Amino acid sequence: MPKIAVERKGRVASLLSVRYFRLCVGLSAGFIVLSVALLLWRLFPEIYGKEVIPLHYNIHYGVDWTGAWWQIFGYPAAGALLCVVNTVVLLMLVKREPMLARVVLVSTVVLTGFLFLSTVFVVLMNIVYG
């Protein structure tokens, strides 16, 4: 095995042993899973097959983004992509800049939390406008 792959495996193994890392990754993954579960449980049966559904609401203009039913899963997909990208950045920063790595880790939790809240509001909006 190349030396770089061994180093990365060592970094991942050392990160998995840190409780702070496991907690933050678990919270981020939990927000993403809750978003998908909420969409599938509460909204998917009602919007499946519709041509246009509201995707975003603005207090000044009302519904300003509409799209196909499958685009509702863009919020959890963005959260998953954010988690993957930030984990790769975290793995690159953990040895050189440990404090910056912690900031990236906490920002992942905060941003996936906001994406979960936006998913909740989109579900509520579709229930009202549905």
Q: Residues 5-21: what's their mean pLDDT? A: 64
Kindly list the domain boundaries of the chain, sorted by start residue: 3-129
* Residue of 72, 73, 105, 74 whose CA lies nearest to 87: 105
CB atoms within 10 A of CB 72: 20
Of 76 and 18, the one with more pLDDT: 76
Q: Residues 8-24: what's their mean pLDDT? A: 72
Radius of gyration of the chain (CA): 18
Q: Residues 24-39: what's their mean pLDDT? A: 94
* pTM score over 0.95: no
Of 27 and 53, the one with more pLDDT: 27
User: Tens digit of pLDDT for each residue in 93-119?
Assistant: 888 888 898 899 999 999 999 999 999
Candidate ranges 56-60, 69-73, 74-78, 94-98; pick with highest mean pLDDT: 74-78
> Residue 114 and residue 111: Cα distance in Å, rounded?
5
pLDDT at 43: 84
